[in-house]
Amino acid sequence: MTISIEIKDLSKKYKLYQSRSERFKDLVLPKSYGKDFWALRHVDFRANKGDVIGFIGINGSGKSTLSNIIAGIVPESSGSIYINGQASLIAVSSGLKGDLTGRENIELKCLMLGFSMKEIKEMQQWIIEFAELEDFIDQPVKSYSSGMKSRLGFAISVTIDPDILIIDEALSVGDKAFAEKSIEKMKEFKAQGKTMIFVSHSINQIKNFCNKVLWLEFGQVKKYGNVDDIIPEYENFIKEYKKMTKKQKSVYKRKVIENQTVRGNK
């Protein structure tokens, strides 16, 4: 088995401040201000080449933070991460520059990845057609709807042919026809044996598409394993969670936050 991603004891800390002055004092004074918030704590996980892994967990459990770290967009606070090859993240508007047009964004992203202008010109038409943006491709991306951004991001990411494809809820904002087209493309990637990470709240999509599941809770790995072993347990958990009253949910949430929040020392 070829290892595709290996993460050891990875944690991500954000600083939470109550005011601007607290943030400023933390920057300039030796004493620590604000609270440490651990979005991820001691995460261990390994994916083999060809694994299709669903990241699941209730809101705020750390799925996007982990996928952003794997894609190299957000730095980890501690721990180690090994990526075999190039990872590309598709998320709503991820990595797109709002002031640039769609076409300029394609060129920028591809140039940054080392493609020549000749190669980019060849890829560009396919990207524009796949993203269904013909009339809008020369407009600034800030004028795009979230579905248009998501289509552009998806089209660029699949065209650059990464070794690891990370899809963070990007399909939930597009229309149904585009989602189906994207799923076909992802199936092609799966058949080619590419490693994929799929962040989704849709248990059906995860069941249909993934072979493994990483269940995050309180920023920690609660379970990692085969879809068939973990999804039934997760479905039960979600059922119970949904049954909770508002108060029970807020007690549960508070517990989560207390678990994650530690008064920081510099």
Ligand X SMILES: Nc1ncnc2c1ncn2[C@@H]1O[C@H](COP(=O)(O)OP(=O)(O)OP(=O)(O)O)[C@@H](O)[C@H]1O
Count CB atoms within 10 A of the CB of residue 252: 13
23-54 burial, b if ≥16 CB within 10 A, otherwise e? eeebeeeeeebbbbbbbbbebebebebbbbbb
Token pair belonging to 67: 């996928």
The site for ligand X, by CB under 6 A, has a size of 11
Give the C-alpha separation, 64 to 256, whole Å: 17
Question: Which residues fall within 8 angstroms of residue 237, CB to CB, at 6 or more apart?
Answer: none
CB of 72 vs ligand X, minimal distance in Å = 16
14 touches ligand X (CB under 6 A): yes
Q: 60 or 264: whose CB is closer to ligand X? A: 60
DSSP assignment of 168-232 equals EBGGGTS-HHHHHHHHHHHHHHHHTT-EEEEE-S-HHHHHHH-SEEEEEETTEEEEEEEHHHHHH
CB of 125 vs ligand X, minimal distance in Å = 33
Q: 181 or 201: whose CB is closer to ligand X? A: 201
CB of 58 vs ligand X, minimal distance in Å = 7
Q: 33 or 130: whose CB is closer to ligand X? A: 33
CB of 100 vs ligand X, minimal distance in Å = 23
Q: 78 or 125: whose CB is closer to ligand X? A: 78
CB of 98 vs ligand X, minimal distance in Å = 19
Site for ligand X in 34-53 (CB under 6 A): 37, 39
Site for ligand X in 53-112 (CB under 6 A): 57, 59-65
* Site for ligand X, rule CB under 6 A: 14, 37, 39, 57, 59-65
